[in-house]
Structure 1
Amino acid sequence: MEPKITQELVNPQQWRWQLQPSLVLVLLPLVALLLLHRRKSNSTLRLPPGPWRLPVIGNLHQIGALPHRSLRALAQRHGPVMMLRLGTVPAVVLSSPEAARHALKTHDADCCGRPPSAGPRLLSYGYKDVAFSPYSDYVRDMRRVFVLELLSMRRVQAARSTREAQVEKLVGDLARGGATPVAIHEHVFAAVDGIVGAFAFGETYAAEQFKGEFIDVINESLALLSSFSAEDFFPGAAGRMVDRLTGLASRRDKIFRKLDGFFEHVLDQHLDPARAKPDGDDGSSRSHLVQELIDLWREHGATKGITRDHVKAILMDTFVGGNNTSSVTMHWAMSELLRHPLELKKVQDEIRAAVAVSQELVRHDDMPKLRYLRMVVKETLRLHPPATLLVPRQTTRRIKVGGYDIPADTKVIVNAWAIGRVPGQRRRLQRRALRAPALRRRPPDLPGAGDGRGERGVHPGQLALLLRLGAAGRGARRGREHGGGGSTDVPQENSADGRANKVP
């Protein structure tokens, strides 16, 4: 006789209700053991000190409108290596040269990750650039392209005529200002755009493409790359919804469409078979960064997976980084000199002694004589770094910094603005600037390539900046000699992305 199987035994709903209490009884001890093990493992770590935190938001309520100032104030109470929790994201803030050097040089291979971020993800075409992408073979190859094709001394020398033309235009604009207030940032951005356009985009200038929106596009791009997005600290649907409600997501989409249109225009021009190749100062054919990237795309696109978006992502780094770094530094240097007339006179006297009266521009050969000007650039970078907070990194495994344990997958924030204000930094930079030997080539400071603070001469980017600043100082003197007692709108504060702002 076959056993009788009741309906209750074959009813799956009945089985689920019967198993739930058993599953709870089995899982509760396992969850308790996991939590205990996690707490025990964390208790064995010597984590950095940090301020108290609130549930859910962590330390976000302690970050103000100027994060570099807020983080410095917290670091003064808790130390140069400080642990925070920003929403659900653990972060360590480094506010001293020693801590930054330890993390970015000693443990460079273990801090080469990049934390996910909504703004950089969109503007870098899904992390296809160099500045915001985790380290990989592709990033290494692209850095090599930057070094050889954009930042090399050969490139600086090849575009000498273009650079000097832009510098001469800047000097003339400043000298013609007369007694009217001078909007330094407009002149500086125009000069830098002319040089970056000649170097990278093949005589294609963003100022012409964006008309009157050029400076706004640059500033908006920097703001989105450096802004504190809700999705960065609450990954997932909740963070994306907050960004949509605050309008940050629509701002990102709008600026991305503008920049993407500009890069498409640049690529279409260079892909046009009827386009004539530009000539260098020596009459030979010379290419630009965009042409080198296109050639790389054509030759290795199938083997290395390089696409049109990869090329545009690299152009994004060049456009935002090239315009911002030089413009911000030059803007602040000129503003600080105008704010301190004695220092301005020293720079002008040095230029007068080093440069012939009949010579309109400061030349490359004049640079070794302009040591005080070099010190002005160092001091400007110390007080007003182009990026107050460096591009965040992420640890790939546990490391030790300043005697503290930094767990894996921790966001690493370097407060460059606070590091420049550590006691003794000014004297150290002045000594290095004054004893620096004659100019020679050095590896450029690429995004994410360590803290780049080693003094080995002046690299091409600083050389071009010194040339422009020296010419601007000469132009200011020439303007005063012609009766121009012009004033300027002098900034007083760095914004979160390093830009010069006026504040009460």
Structure 2
Amino acid sequence: MIYQTSIMELQNFLISIIALILWFFIKPYLHRRSTKLPPGPTALPIIGSLHLLGSRPNQSLAKLAKLHGPLFTLSLGSVTTIVASSPETAKEILQKQEKIFSARTVPDVITAQPNPQATLAWVPGDHLWRNRRRICSTRMFTNQRLDSLQELRHRKVEQMVSHIKKHCSGAGAAVDIGRLAFGTTLNLMSNTIFSVDMVDPEFETAQEFKDLVWRIMEDAGKPNLSDFFPALRRLDLQGKKRHIRPAYERLHEIFEETIEKRVKERSFGGMERKGDFLDVLLDQCEEDGSGFDRQTIKPLILDLFIAGSDTSAITTEWGMAELLHKPEILRKVREEILEAIGKTMSVRESDFEKLPYLQAVVKETMRLHPAAPLLLPYRAENDTVMFGYTVPKNSQVLVNAWAIGRDPQYWDNPSEFRPERFLGSDLDYKGRDFEYIPFGAGRRICPGMPLAIRMVNLMLASIIQSFTWRLPEGTTPEKLDMEEQFGVTLRKAVPLLAIPSTE
């Protein structure tokens, strides 16, 4: 009798578990059917529309927008996702209803890092986030602070140019444009934050940092079952958290060594302060109620390093790739630089106003290849209505900046690289023109935008001025691989190799 009772209890337990699992998968679909969501593709049982994402979701979602409209719904597992693919829908999310969409949908892999709640990019727009952003904006990215660091940027770019010149003495040796741009921007960020170079003069250590950063950016952007079925997060079925965790830990270890050294230096009262951003953060750590301490400043520093180095390097590489893909545009921009500055004087930021075509090249590069193609995902804090449709509370919201920048309703021949479209145009990237939002818009617009623009213009102008460039033997401009590799950022799938010459 006891045995039979135990069997019945086990059966009832299993039935309850199965019922809960079925309810877990069925409930989202019942809710969707009772709510007037934006249109979208028919969802399959359990997986929804996951099979439609593909390896390049920015492109897949752009194609779906042509079928279902600029605001459509995807069922990604158990997660309702709303996708915006037009300037009008982006404006509604990023400006008109920005308070409702001030939170983030946080990819599971992001939580693999120590103290993920202390990041700048991924936390809700609460008072702690506002304080972190205020510190960054007022102590690192103001025009006054950026102007004071002009000489530092010039030195770092001149070091890159000197390194390339060594290749010119070889037998047509090709250089990896992306790796050099990454090492240069990484040293700029490490000097701005720590007053030290993290990449050696020969750029050999740049690859280690580049691999660490890309592992984070790629894993955070790839489809992950843990994000589509949150109840399964603890299992880490695809092993993505296990894969990404060593990269986070290695970068935190590097930061901790530098922070520990600085804390010891500051403990000796007579030692002169460096006045860099680390000093700013350590001062905050000493203030009661600031929300900063030794552990919480490292995720913030990591965000700055990744955003400051990876995105600027990617944009510089894409810019050179487009110019080598269209040699006539490369000749035109080089002629502008040589006519305005000459070949012997180094390019300086004060020269930019004399280089409108160069600035147009950078803008066009960011239109075709926005560093963050889907921006970072938003989360609806409450139910809201957009264009007659309901966006449910806690739904994920994606803004496809890549698709918006290629919308034929706003751009003539949108797939063509044509910098002339920006000449004489008031269109800019500061979040006011929603047909062009490479840095996002609203309260979540990228705070490092002023630095990124200066750095990309300076690096591109300097390497175009100092060298003539050609593709390696066997590669023609027409056959140059221009495929994308998707992550949180959108890098070139095949690294750009090019041969410099001073002749």
Give me the TM-score of the superposition, normalised by structure 1: 0.80
Deviation at 1:451, TM superposition (A): 7.3
Report how many residues are paired: 455
Distance 1:224 1:127, change over 3 A: farther
Asked whether 1:411 is paired with 2:396, we answer: yes
> What is residue 275 of structure 2 aligned with on the other side?
287
Deviation at 1:61, TM superposition (A): 1.5
Deviation at 1:501, TM superposition (A): 0.8
Correspondence 1:211-222 to 2 at 5 A: 212-222=207-217
Correspondence 1:105-504 to 2 at 5 A: 105-123=95-113, 125-178=115-168, 179-205=172-198, 212-236=207-231, 238-241=232-235, 243-244=236-237, 246-273=238-265, 287-300=275-288, 303-359=289-345, 361-426=346-411, 434-436=424-426, 449-450=442-443, 452=445, 459-477=450-468, 491-497=481-487, 498-502=490-494
Q: What is the one-letter code of the residue matched to 2:216? A: S
Q: Secondary structure at the match of 2:467?
A: helix
Structure 2 contact 401–438 (Cα < 8 Å) conserved: no
Deviation at 1:112, TM superposition (A): 0.7
Deviation at 1:447, TM superposition (A): 7.5
Structure 2 contact 347–458 (Cα < 8 Å) conserved: yes
Q: Secondary structure at the match of 1:351?
A: helix
Instruction: State the distance in 1 between where 2:293 and 2:220 align.
Output: 23
Distance 1:233 1:363, change over 3 A: same
Q: What is the one-letter code of the residue matched to 1:351? A: I
Q: Secondary structure at the match of 1:48?
A: coil
> What is residue 20 of structure 2 aligned with on the other side?
none
Q: Secondary structure at the match of 1:228?
A: coil
Structure 1 contact 159–198 (Cα < 8 Å) conserved: no
Structure 2 contact 333–357 (Cα < 8 Å) conserved: yes
Structure 1 contact 67–496 (Cα < 8 Å) conserved: yes
Instruction: State the distance in 2 between where 1:275 and 1:159 align.
Output: 27
Instruction: State the distance in 2 between where 1:405 and 1:260 align.
Output: 41
> What is residue 80 of structure 1 aligned with on the other side?
70
Q: Deviations over 1:357-397 (max 9, x none)?
A: 441x2112211111111111111001111112211010011
Q: Deviations over 1:97-153 (max 9, x none)?
A: 221111111110000111242112233623211100011111111111111222122
Instruction: State the distance in 2 between where 1:109 and 1:287 align.
Output: 35
Unaligned runs of at least 5 residues, structure 2: 17-22, 496-503
Distance 1:318 1:260, change over 3 A: same
Q: What is the one-letter code of the residue matched to 1:156? A: L
Instruction: State the distance in 2 between where 1:488 and 1:218 align.
Output: 31
Alignment equivalent of 2:91, drawn from 101, 108, 117: 101
Q: Secondary structure at the match of 1:142?
A: helix
Instruction: State the distance in 2 between where 1:297 and 1:206 align.
Output: 28
> What is residue 498 of structure 2 aligned with on the other side?
none
Q: Secondary structure at the match of 2:47?
A: coil
Structure 1 contact 124–316 (Cα < 8 Å) conserved: no
Deviation at 1:259, TM superposition (A): 1.4
Asked whether 1:66 is paired with 2:67, we answer: no
Structure 1 contact 49–83 (Cα < 8 Å) conserved: yes
Q: What is the one-letter code of the residue matched to 2:234? A: R
Distance 1:260 1:173, change over 3 A: same
Q: Deviations over 1:432-490 (max 9, x none)?
A: 553459999x9x9977845759xxxx93431222122111210224x78xxx9998995
Correspondence 1:46-61 to 2 at 5 A: 46-61=36-51
Distance 1:43 1:212, change over 3 A: closer
> What is residue 28 of structure 1 aligned with on the other side?
none
Q: Secondary structure at the match of 2:118?
A: coil
Instruction: State the distance in 2 between where 1:436 and 1:66 align.
Output: 31
Structure 1 contact 131–317 (Cα < 8 Å) conserved: yes
Give me the TM-score of the superposition, normalised by structure 2: 0.80
Q: Secondary structure at the match of 1:272?
A: helix
Unaligned runs of at least 5 residues, structure 1: 1-12, 25-30
Q: What is the one-letter code of the residue matched to 1:469? A: L
Deviation at 1:249, TM superposition (A): 2.4
Distance 1:224 1:501, change over 3 A: same
Structure 1 contact 66–496 (Cα < 8 Å) conserved: yes
Instruction: State the distance in 2 between where 1:287 and 1:276 align.
Output: 16
Moved more, 121-130 or 256-265: 121-130
Alignment identity in percent?
Answer: 28
Q: What is the one-letter code of the residue matched to 2:76? A: L
Structure 2 contact 77–228 (Cα < 8 Å) conserved: yes
Deviation at 1:269, TM superposition (A): 2.3
Distance 1:450 1:74, change over 3 A: farther
Structure 1 contact 72–418 (Cα < 8 Å) conserved: yes
Q: Deviations over 1:22-47 (max 9, x none)?
A: xx9xxxxxx9xxx9xx96x8667431
Instruction: State the distance in 1 between where 2:267 and 2:152 align.
Output: 20
Q: Secondary structure at the match of 1:222?
A: helix
Q: Secondary structure at the match of 2:234?
A: helix
Q: Quote the RMSD (CA, aligned, Å).
A: 3.8
Q: Secondary structure at the match of 2:99?
A: helix
